[in-house]
Structure 1
C-alpha cells in the first residue's frame, strides 16, 4: 500500500488523477443522499415559522458568532439526552437557513433552551455572563440593550425565505415590521396581529423589560426563548432504550 503511494508521489499526473478519484468518491457519498432528502426528512404539519422578531434575533445570534461556541443539536447519547433533553430531529431545523447544528461546545448546547430560563435571566446573562454563571468565559453583550432594532427590512428577509420554501404568507411578509414591534409590546394594538398570524402560543411580551422600545436584546431573547419550541415532534418521539444509548456511547 505504501509502495503504491510512494510511486504516485513520483508521478504528478498519476497523483492528481488519484486525488480527483478519491475526492469524487467523497463528494458522491455526501451529495447523493440529497437527491432523496424529500423522502428522508420527516414532516410536521404543526411546525410553525419564526416570527419576524425571532428571526431578527437569529440574525443577531449569527452575526455575533454565537454558533461558534454553542451547538444546537442534541445527539442520541445518554449524557446528552439527560442533560439537554430529547435528541434533535431534522424536522426541527427544516426552516433554518442556514442550519446551526454545530459541534463546538465551549458553552452548552442551546437546542432546548427555550423556556428553560426567564427573560430576566437571559438579559442578565447577556449583559454580564459572570453575574449568573461565575465560571463563564462568554463575552458581554450589554450593548444589545442599548441598540434599537432595525425592523424596516424584515419583510424582505421573510420574502427571501419564502422563496426557499419557508411557508410565510403574503400577509406575514407585509406586516413583518409591525409584527416585530407588536411581539415586544404586548399592550400595543399590533400585538393582536402577531397572535393571529403566528398562533396564540406565540411569546408576546417585553423581553428586555423595557416596553415601548424594541431593542436588539428583545430580538435575541425572543429567539432564545423559542429554541426547541417550534414543534412538539421531539417530545412525542419514542425514547431510546438503555441498550440503544449504550451502543451510541
Structure 2
C-alpha cells in the first residue's frame, strides 16, 4: 500500500485524480442526505418564522460577523445539555437562510439565549461588553444605536417566502409597519403583529426607547428570539413528541 502511494506521488496527474476522487466521495457523503431532508425532518406544528424586526436583527448579526465567534448548535453531550439546555434540532433551523449552527466557540453558544437575560443586559453588553463581563474579549458595537433601515424588509420576506418560509402576502406587505409596531406595543399596529406571528413573540422597546427604532432594537429582538421559535426541543427532552 505504501509503495502504491509512493508511486502515485511520482505521477502528478494521477495524484490529482486520486485527490478528486477522494474529495468527490466525501462531498457525496455530506451532500446526498440533503436530498431527502424533506422526508427526514418533520417541522413542529408550533414553529414560527422570524418577525420582520427579528429578521432585521439577524441580518445585522450576520453583517457584524457574530456567527464567527458564536455557534447556534447545542450538541447532544451531557455537559452541553447542562450548560445550554436541550440539544438543537434540524427542524428549528428550517426557516433559516443561511443556518448558523457552526462549530466555532470563541464565545458561548447562543441557541438557547432567548429571554435568558434582560433587554437592558443585552444593550449594555453590546455597547460595552467589559462593563458587563470584565473578562470578555468581545468587541463593542456602539454604532447599533443608529436608526434601523427597514426599506428592504418587504423584499427580504418575499425572497424567503420563495424559499419556503411561510410568509404570506399580508406579512410581506406589512413588513416595515410590523417591525416598527413590535417595538411599540402600545401602537395601533401591535395587535396586527400578534395576529400574524402569534402571542409568543416579544413586544417591547428592546433598546429602552420607544420613540426610535434602532439597529439595537433589531439585534436584541433577534437574540431574545433564539430558542423560542418552537417548544419542540423541550418536549423531546421532557419525553413528549415533536
Q: TM-score range by the shorter chain?
A: over 0.9
Q: CA RMSD in A?
A: 1.2
Task: Show the 5 A alignment for 1:89-238.
Answer: 89-145=89-145, 147-238=146-237
The 3-state SS of whatever aligns with 2:225 is coil
The 3-state SS of whatever aligns with 1:124 is helix
1:238 Cα deviation from its structure 2 partner:
3.5
Q: Distance in 2 between matches of 1:239 and 1:104?
A: 28
Deviating more after overlay: 35-44 vs 106-115: 35-44
The aligned residue for residue 16 of structure 2 is 16
1:117 Cα deviation from its structure 2 partner:
0.4
1:153 Cα deviation from its structure 2 partner:
1.3
The 3-state SS of whatever aligns with 2:80 is helix
Deviations along 1:57-84, one digit per CA (max 9) or x if unpaired, are 0000000000011010000111100001
Provide the TM-score with structure 1 as the length reference.
0.93
Regions of 4+ moved over 2 Å: none
Does structure 1 conserve the Cα–Cα contact (< 8 Å) formed by 2:86 and 2:237? Answer: no
1:23 Cα deviation from its structure 2 partner:
1.7
1:19 Cα deviation from its structure 2 partner:
1.7
The aligned residue for residue 245 of structure 1 is none
Deviations along 1:117-143, one digit per CA (max 9) or x if unpaired, are 000000011111111111100111111
Deviating more after overlay: 26-35 vs 200-209: 26-35
Task: Show the 5 A alignment for 1:20-59.
Answer: 20-59=20-59
Q: Distance in 2 between matches of 1:109 and 1:195?
A: 29
1:2 Cα deviation from its structure 2 partner:
2.1
Unaligned runs of 5+ in 1: 241-249
Q: Distance in 1 between matches of 2:187 and 2:12?
A: 70
Unaligned runs of 5+ in 2: none
1:210 Cα deviation from its structure 2 partner:
0.5
Q: Distance in 2 between matches of 1:229 and 1:103?
A: 21
1:239 Cα deviation from its structure 2 partner:
5.9
Q: Distance in 2 between matches of 1:51 and 1:34?
A: 27
The 3-state SS of whatever aligns with 2:222 is helix
Q: Distance in 2 between matches of 1:35 and 1:109?
A: 28
